[in-house]
Each structure stands twice: as structure tokens, then as C-alpha cells.
Amino acid sequence: MPDPALPPLPRPLIWAARPLPLMPLTLLLTRLTRQLLHRHPRLQRRLGTYADHRFLLDLTDLPFLLLLEPGTSTPRVSAHPRQRVPDHDTRIAGLTSAFLGMMHGSLDGDALFFSRDLVIEGDTGAGLALRNAIDDAELDLTVELGVLLRPLGPLLNRLRPSAERLTGLALHRMDQPTELQP
């Protein structure tokens, strides 16, 4: 049974995300994905034979779906309207707070899957490989966004604690200091 303590995205964020044009979002997420794979090469290695899979990330409190294609010659993440589900090998679904908590190490990925706070459908081996690759890489979204949006990095670091308090989301790795790292 899903954990009722996991917060959904605050309504103002959901409303703000609804009118987002998906193409610019796709371009930004693809740049971020390529940067992550460049800065954390273990991600693709850890995926092994599943690197060529297409992972549908269904963050259920967002108004769109994300399709991760890490193993193509040009890795990408594309945003899709919910009513047009793209072809995929594996679907991982759950609240954004569960996914970010798993990514940042504040929540145990195995516990999230056993409690069904995150659900894997399709090729479950691929879903577990992605979870293990993310866990092994010890990613920090605030650091990665700060590197991608270099001039805004210090501002992101200053706003992060307030954003985490207001949203209840884990926006950085809890076991490491969050500072802009080249």
C-alpha cells in the first residue's frame, strides 16, 4: 500500500507545469540527461544490456510523461502528453517525491517498490537495473542543474532549502554537501 506520508507535488507547481510546452522541456531534459551520462559514466555501464531500453517515467502527479532513452547514440528524455503514451519497454510510476527521494538517497528504492509507492511494469529487470544505476551514481539534481545552468547555480543552492521545506521534496542528496561541482 502506498505511503500516505509521501507528498504529491504542490498544486501551484502542477498548475504551473500544465501549460509548459513539451518541446523546450524535452530539450532541457535531454541536455540534463546527456550531462548526467557524461559526468556519471557508471550510469550506462551499470544499466548493462538494459541501456537500450526505453523507460517510461510516469510521475503520476505531473501532467505529462517522460520517456528516458539512455542507450541510444544520442541519449534523450522526451516529454509526452498523458493521452499519447509512447512505446516503451518498462514503465516506472509513482509520485515525484518517491522518485526524487530514491534518486537522492533519502528514501530506500527497494522499500518504495515493495510498498508500491513506485511501480514497475513491463521489463522489471530493466526497471531494477535503472534503479540500481541511479542509486549507485549518487546523483544530486541541484548540483546537476547548477552545472547545466551555470550562472544560476549559486541561486539554486540558496533557494533549495526553502523549496524543499515548501514542497516536501528531496531536491538534493542528503548524505553529501550540495555545492556547484564542475
Place 180 in a pLDDT band, splitting at 50, 70 and 90: very low
Please check whether residue 74 lies inside any domain of the structure. yes
Total of domains in the chain:
1
Q: How do residues 99-120 score in pLDDT, each as one tens digit?
A: 999 999 899 988 999 999 999 9
Please check whether residue 176 lies inside any domain of the structure. no
Please check whether residue 180 lies inside any domain of the structure. no
- The average pLDDT across 119-131 equals 95
Please check whether residue 153 lies inside any domain of the structure. no
Please check whether residue 36 lies inside any domain of the structure. yes
> In this model, does residue 181 exceed pLDDT 50?
no
Please check whether residue 150 lies inside any domain of the structure. no
User: What strands lie across the sheet with 64-69, from one edge to the other?
Assistant: 76-81, 64-69, 55-59, 90-94, 118-122
3-state helix, strand, coil in the chain (%, to 5): 50, 15, 35
pLDDT at 3 (0 to 100): 60
Please check whether residue 157 lies inside any domain of the structure. no
Higher pLDDT pick, 77 / 4: 77
| Domain enclosing residue 95, as ranges | 11-139
What CATH number is associated with residue 36?
3.30.1050.10
Please check whether residue 156 lies inside any domain of the structure. no
Helix axes 96-103, 124-137, angle to 10 degrees: 50
